[in-house]
Amino acid sequence: MQTHKSLVSKYLFIVAVLICAFVLMMGFKSSEDTYKPTRHTVTIFKMKFNPEHLVVNKGDTVVWINKDFYQHDVTEMTSKKWTSKPFNQGESWSKVITGDIKYYCDLHKVMKGTITVAK
């Protein structure tokens, strides 16, 4: 009697461990392996970046599309660390986002925007 009971509980314990392991693996899979970076679009139109403020995940790509008949650029604002160089109507420029960004158009210095990485 005693041995039969302990066998059942041993069996149940193993099943529980297997389920736990399975759930954990699924969890890791969805959070690490299956996250696909997304592409976001910022439209440049009528002298504005739209959306002006954008929140993305680390590793996402942002594409800026110029819909104005004026040239624009996308330039890092604090120290001009990087720039797209001027691009024309119908052209676009993209960047993989690894951290928060403040940018502006160096041609039209009043045009500004931000990219924030979601925490």
Judged by the rule CB under 8 A, the positions of this chain that interact with other proteins are: 46-48, 68-71, 107-111
What DSSP string describes 45-81?
Answer: ETTEEESSEEEE-TT-EEEEEE-SSS-B--EETTT--
* Residue 69 partner contact from Cu ion, other proteins, none using kind-dependent CB cut-offs of 5 to 8 Å: other proteins
Q: Which is nearer to Cu ion, 114 or 117 (CB)?
A: 114
Q: Which is nearer to other proteins, 81 or 109 (CB)?
A: 109
- Cα 104 to Cα 12, 13, 41, 70, 83: the distances in Å are 62, 60, 16, 15, 10
CB 43 → other proteins: shortest distance, Å?
14
Other Cβ atoms less than 10 A from the Cβ of 108: the count is: 16
**Cis peptide bond N-terminal to 86, omega within 30:** no
Q: Which is nearer to other proteins, 28 or 45 (CB)?
A: 45
* Residue 54 partner contact from Cu ion, other proteins, none using kind-dependent CB cut-offs of 5 to 8 Å: none
CB 32 → other proteins: shortest distance, Å?
44
Please choose, from the candidates 107, 119, 3, 117, the residue with its C-alpha nearest in 3D space to the C-alpha of residue 53.
117
CB 69 → other proteins: shortest distance, Å?
5
CB 90 → other proteins: shortest distance, Å?
13
